[in-house]
Amino acid sequence: MGRNTGAVDVLDVREITKSYATSAGPLRVLDGVSFTLAAGQRMAIMGPSGCGKSTLLAILGGLEPPSAGSVRLDGIDPFAADAAGRAAFRNRHVGFVFQDHHLLAGCTALDNVLVPALASGRVTPALEERGRLLLDRVGLADRAWHRPGQLSGGERQRVAVARALLLAPRLILADEPTGQLDGPTAGAITELLVDLVTEAEGMLVVVTHADAVAARVGGVRRLDAGRLAP
């Protein structure tokens, strides 16, 4: 993957377009989306269901290529790499938090936090200690050896937040991270996510339908008809 040494600590999204083939012809989901985020900045993206919010996150995280346009994180273009290179990019530079926490049911909370390190084959004592510290930071130090089935929905999402931050990625992408939680729990998870990413001077993009979540994240933009409003 190429790196532009003149561009650091920034997410640079330029004229992203995404279309899908359908029986009725191409369906354009994203239409010229552009924005930049610098280290420490946050953005909340709102919009109606089916407007392309999750598709945009998938492109930002290197999961799905755009039909046109470019994405660069700290000068790196993930789509200039092969599949293995994109997987390495995601593992090292991007943290994901989803509405469904996607925890491994048979693993402890600590093991779930360590999944990004396991994926890269480098679980070091330092990373295990960081995993413990993150669990403590999210208020789950005493639940490290519990499995997901023994945790509440809010606790499971806290584990997912800690997992996303294990390798200190520059970019955290959260897709409706509080969608299955009650109001107070959603507020606590949002506050935690914002605080941890801010402390790490990372970049945060959150897709949400909740006005309160968007307001706490800040930098609210609306995606509609494939376009990102100012």
CATH of the domain at 142: 3.40.50.300
Residue 136 belongs to domain spanning: 10-228
User: What's the structural domain count of the chain?
Assistant: 1
Distance of alpha carbon 171 from alpha carbon 72, whole angstroms:
11
Q: What is the pTM of this model?
A: 0.90
> What is the chain's mean pLDDT, rounded?
89
- Pairing type for strands 42-46 and 203-207 reads parallel
Distance CA 118, CA 141 (A): 20
- What pLDDT is attached to residue 4? 43
How many whole angstroms separate alpha carbon 146 and alpha carbon 125? 20
- Asked, for residue 1, whether it belongs to a domain, the answer is no
- Tell me what pLDDT residue 50 has: 81
Phi, psi (deg, nearest 5) at residue 205: -125, 120
In a domain, 51, yes or no: yes
Task: Label residue 3 by pLDDT band (50, 70, 90).
Answer: very low
pLDDT band at 221 (very low <50, low <70, confident <90, very high): very high
pLDDT value, residue 1: 42
pLDDT tens for each residue of 18-28: 999 888 878 89
